[in-house]
Structure formats: C-alpha cells, structure tokens
Amino acid sequence: MCGAVLIRVGSRGSRLALTQAEGAAARLRAPGIEIALVPITTAGDRDRTRPFGEIGARGVFVKELEEALLDRRVDVAVHSAKDMTSTDTDGLAVGAYIERDDPRDALCGAEAIRPGMRIGTASIRRRAQLLAIEPSLSIEPLRGNVDTRLRKRRERGLDAVVLAACGLDRLGLGREIGHRFDPEELVPEAGQGALALQVRAGEEHLVGAADHAATRRRVEAERACVAAIGGGCLAPVAAHHDGERLTALVAAEDGSWIERRTGDDPAALAQELLAAVP
C-alpha cells in the first residue's frame, strides 16, 4: 500500500498469543495503516519445565517483548495483562487495554472440586486458593501452552487442570470447561481476561483508539493493589475489580491461611491485607 504507515506488532509465538495478537491487530487496522505481526520468544516460552519463580521474577512472558519495543524492533507489544509486572517499565506505557473477556479461572476435566483430586497448575495463586477450598487436593505442577496442558492432563491421568477461561474461549475450546470459578470463589490474577497494548512512552496515539476505558480503570486498580502489596509470581497474591469494587487476596502457598479484603482504594486495601498477614 503506497504511503501506508506500518505498525509492527510484537507477540509471543504460541497459538493463543498469535490469536490474541490478530484480534488486537484487527482493532488497529484502518485506511492507510498496515500491520505486521512479529513473533518473539520469551524466557517463559523457552523454559517450559521449571516453575516460574526459578526462571525469574514476574514478567517471564514480557521482558523480551519490552526489549523489542525499546530497541525499536516492534512498535506495539501485545500482552496478556496478567503476565505484566505490576509497575510500568521505564520508557514504556500501556497505550490501550482491549475490552476485557471472561476473567475467571476454569476447571477442565471435571465439573466440581472433589476431595482427593489431582489437579494440575503452575500458578501458586491457584494452588493456594484450591487448597483452601479443599485441603485434600493434590496440586501437581503443570507448564506449557493451553493445548499442551490439556494434553498432559489426559496423559498423566490428572482429574483436572485449571486454566484461564478467556484463553480457552479465544481458542474455541470452551467445551473443555467443566466449571468457571466465580471470582469470589477463586480470585483471578490481576489483569486476567484483558489484553494490554504496550508502546513506547509518547506513542500512545498508535493504539489509543482501541482503549476500553472501563477495562483500563479496573485493570489499573488491580495492578496498583498488587504493586502496593509487593506480590508477583513468588507470592500468592490476587486482585479483581468487578466493575464496582476491588477484591484483593494474600495467601499462604499451602492454603493454610488466606486474607481477603474488599474496598475502593487499591493502596488502602493493600495496607489492610499486609497488616492482616500472620
């Protein structure tokens, strides 16, 4: 297209990530704008066996995309907002949050939690809350993309796995879901269900038309609360804004205690939780 503006959109290379990036690209396309998808491999993609905490801090699926932005190899990075660190990287900004899809966690392979089940998940947030619901569960580490984890459930004879409902829905795999946990039952990861379009600071105009104000307000409240708590992949921390109020949680990894608070102010909520931690 003669005279077209080319926007290079960086994404992880998994089927889900590229599906999400295509959805984001569709919102950016307009007369005079060309979109080129640029797959980028992250640390979390390269190492699919070790727990996240052994690979690095929160952001193992984000760092290489951010480096590509700062190096000007891409112009926009598409992230699952739940994968981002709770504070913005210097020189970068979230120019848009796309309207949020289902933020809930999904149980695949069963319709309910039962005593003694073997459940696969790599998330310590999910592990802590599942064990608080039913202490007799056996929670087994499970890494990989969505298709891999569904396959491993069958191969390893697990009773169920817990995944983000939005990812299954986006891949047309909603039929795999036996139960969607109410956020009051299993508090989601901050930002879960939302896509963040990250750009270099000052270039927010590239994606601003795709921004969904209500999603931004909710996700930024969740991220601010987690940042104030100091949580990440190494601590069972969760935050979810339902459109009216913010709920946040801190827990022991073994589910032996959970502190949960609901309020309006992310910083005040974080302080309440920190004061309540045993």
Residues taking part in catalysis: 82-83, 125-126, 143, 149, 233
168: left (phi over 0), alpha (psi -120 to 50) or beta: alpha
Here the tokens at position 196 are 């963040």
Here the tokens at position 39 are 């797959």
CA distances from 201 to 90, 97, 204, 222, 227 (A): 8, 15, 7, 21, 20
Count Cβ neighbours within 10 Å for each residue of 92-111 and write b for 16 or more, e otherwise: bbbbbbbebbbbbbbbbbee
Strand order in the sheet with 160-164: 138-140, 118-120, 160-164, 105-108, 177-180
In total, the chain counts a number of residues equal to 278
Q: Hey, how many other C-beta atoms are within 10 angstroms of the C-beta on 248?
A: 28
